Structure 1
Amino acid sequence: MPEKNTIKKKARKGKFIRKTTETDIKLELNIDGKGNYKIDTGVPFFNHMLEQFSKHSGCDISLKAKGDIGVDLHHLIEDTGIVIGHAFKELSGDKRGIKRYGFSSVPMDESLVQSTADFCGRSFFVYRFMGEDISQAGKEFLKSSLRISKQESREILVDKFFYVYSNVFFDAVCKNALISLHINIQYGSNIHHMVEAVFKSVGRAVSDALEITGDSGIPSTKGSI
């Protein structure tokens, strides 16, 4: 049996930077925060979603992200996911003393989203809407709407977050945090509500998984993650 209350709690916070020819991202993340945020990506709807993630995960997030959004939002959103995922990997360390698994079910009016996270040291991402693989739906969506620009309508942008950008963002988070994440949109009709419930639900699942249990051991029979 693992010994209780033997862990010295380390500060799980840090600064992370990623700069490429396409993006320039600066992140400060405090896992054990109060859900405070200061977020500027140049994309108001993306800011709004990341604010939801911060508030509902309890993580303090300070993020300044610049990118070639006049060409495509993909680079900025994916690279932001890369940085956030890497930060969670580094700050969660060897996973000693955390719950490891987290779950959350979040309603937003007519929508319901369930998210399950496993800080397992392996990357796997599942994103489904009423049983269907939403990443495949995203590919079909892109075929009918290839041109992406800052001038696109808000409605089209929100649609793309549902079908494309949420998939891109969370896939990048999973690959760089080395976590398994399952997002299931059980049902809904308002795309804004569904996307927002996704970010809230994932935030709460991550918070649940990273909760300090007081055990001194690593949550795996292998003895390492």
Structure 2
Amino acid sequence: MTTEPRIAEVRRDTKETQIRVRVNLDGTGEARLATGIGFFDHMLDQIARHGLIDLDIEAHGDLHIDGHHTVEDVGITLGMAIARAVGDKKGLTRYGHAYVPLDEALSRVVVDFSGRPGLEMAVDFKAGMVGAFDTQLAYEFFQGFSNHALVTLHIDNLKGHNAHHQCETIFKAFGRALRMAMTLDPRSAGVIPSTKGSL
């Protein structure tokens, strides 16, 4: 079993955003977040807390236009950082899933560190905005993440009529599913979790 710390830092600069993400996959859920979008920071905090990932994210984006580039590019950069921290995937549990409720809302997230990016997301948000966060951007965040973390991701909101609750159950379940998938399995130490022998 590897004892190397699973830590990575990625910086991604474009004409639209400047993003820095640092992750510790074996952390305690500590988060330092500054994206300029309060509700988005709240959702990223759910990933850290429920995924037991130490997460440090600083983003400067063109929020005078809207939140699209910032949210999408944070997803991209977080995906890159997690892919780097996971490394060769030896000993990785690989699959993770979680159901999370919040009052009337219930969501399910399933993740596979397959090496094949893909997102299937079925969410009918009951409001277009939660604070300054456009709920359409949840899809853009997870699309960016899955493309750059190289994971297959299924996200389903099964119940809910409050958009804040819907969104929060999704991000909490995502954190819990990541935590399960990224756990090192002592019974598979040094083994790639695939019959192909590579991911």
TM-score between the two structures when normalised by the length of structure 1: 0.84
Per-residue deviation at 1:157?
4.0
SS in 2 for 1:17: strand
Q: Which residue of 2 aligns with 1:202?
A: 174
Distance 2:4 2:110 in 1: 25
Q: Which of 86, 93, 118 is equivalent to 1:99?
A: 93
Q: Does residue 30 of the first structure (1) align with residue 24 of the second (2)?
A: yes
Q: Which residue of 2 aligns with 1:218?
A: 192
Q: Does residue 170 of the first structure (1) align with residue 164 of the second (2)?
A: no
SS in 2 for 1:15: strand
Q: Deviations over 1:154-189 (max 9, x none)?
A: 65745x22xx11000000000000000001101111
Q: Does residue 185 of the first structure (1) align with residue 164 of the second (2)?
A: no
Partner letter of residue 198 of structure 2? S
CA contact (8 A) 2:107 2:155 kept: yes
Distance 1:182 1:175 in 2: 13
Q: Which residue of 2 aligns with 1:4?
A: none
Q: Does residue 62 of the first structure (1) align with residue 56 of the second (2)?
A: yes
Per-residue deviation at 1:94?
1.7
Aligned residues: 197
Q: Does residue 46 of the first structure (1) align with residue 40 of the second (2)?
A: yes
SS in 2 for 1:172: helix
Per-residue deviation at 1:8?
2.5
Q: Which residue of 2 aligns with 1:118?
A: 112
Q: Does residue 19 of the first structure (1) align with residue 13 of the second (2)?
A: yes
Q: Which residue of 1 aligns with 2:71?
A: 77
Distance 1:156 1:220 in 2: 42
Per-residue deviation at 1:14?
1.8
Distance 1:90 1:169 in 2: 18
Distance 2:82 2:95 in 1: 14
Structure 1: gaps (5+ residues) = 1-6, 146-153
Larger-Rg structure: 1
Q: Deviations over 1:89-145 (max 9, x none)?
A: 11111211011000100000000001000000000101113xxxx5xx8xxx9xxx8
CA contact (8 A) 2:130 2:164 kept: no
Partner letter of residue 85 of structure 1? G
TM-score between the two structures when normalised by the length of structure 2: 0.94
Distance 1:28 1:155 in 2: 26
Distance 1:87 1:8 in 2: 18
Distance 1:95 1:184 in 2: 26
SS in 1 for 2:99: strand
RMSD: 1.8
Identity %: 37
Distance 1:83 1:156 in 2: 23
Structure 2: gaps (5+ residues) = none
SS in 2 for 1:72: coil
Per-residue deviation at 1:15?
1.4
